[in-house]
Amino acid sequence: MSTPHNQACKGDIAKNVLMPGDPLRAKFIAENFLENPRLVNEVRAAYAYTGMYRGKVVSVMASGMGMPSMGIYSYELFSIYDVNNIIRIGSSGAYVTDLNLYDVVLAESVWSESSFARTQNGSSDDILYPSRELNDRILETAKKLGYLLTPTRVHSSDVFYCEANMDDYREINRKHQCTCVDMESFALFHNAKVLNKNAACLLTISDSFPTGEKASAKERQESFTTMMKIALEACV
């Protein structure tokens, strides 16, 4: 069965899915890490590939930017394509100087001011959590690979450009203990909770609010390989 957003047939997508936001990052992962990858979706350029990684069938699919896009694709993957585990692998802006460019963080909780959960099923939760089992597997995998992985609380925002009268990153860090920001993880975690599935979120620091440092678009697509390797190995 396909959907208006996904031309893949049931069975074309693996039980374990890696979800970068960027379609070109999905393409990069498929071409550089998967054996015999097949393009199973290209509707709206939300590229999805399925291939083998160390003997395990794995899919990688772009979520697009923001909670509405992640909300659509993750819900359909869980509910229509029988996906069990989704690991988001995205970029993040650091709110604290303790996080540097290319550091990898693991969301141990996500805070959001978004109305996504309330609109989706009436939930008033503003803090959501990943699958403990999946997070433990990711932490153990990073340890085995010798990679430093920082568990933290992520701010998941609907808005990229805020006006000056709104709380800035320093206030959000102070009030909610968030050390970095993304735009998709809250919707992913909510859908996983609603549908009794598993979700986790790995993020690579691509820019820093305190220092102004930024990775280029090409670096965001191709240089976040530590995060990619941890996620892939966690699927094996």
Retrieve residue 151's tokens. Answer: 């568990």
Name the E strands within the chain: 16-19, 35-41, 48-53, 56-61, 85-94, 104-111, 127-128, 150-156, 180-182, 198-208
Rounded Cα–Cα distance for residues 196 and 3 (Å): 21
Give the pairing of strands 198-208 and 104-111.
antiparallel
Helix/strand/coil for 3? strand
Q: What is the DSSP letter of 81?
A: S
Angle between helical axes of 23-33 and 225-234 (0-180°, round to 10): 70
Q: What are the start-end ranges of the H helices in the chain?
A: 23-33, 67-79, 116-121, 132-145, 169-176, 185-195, 217-222, 225-234
136 belongs to the catalytic site? no
Q: Catalytic: which of 125, 126, 158, 207?
A: 207
Which residue type is seen at 25? R
The residues carrying an active-site annotation are 207
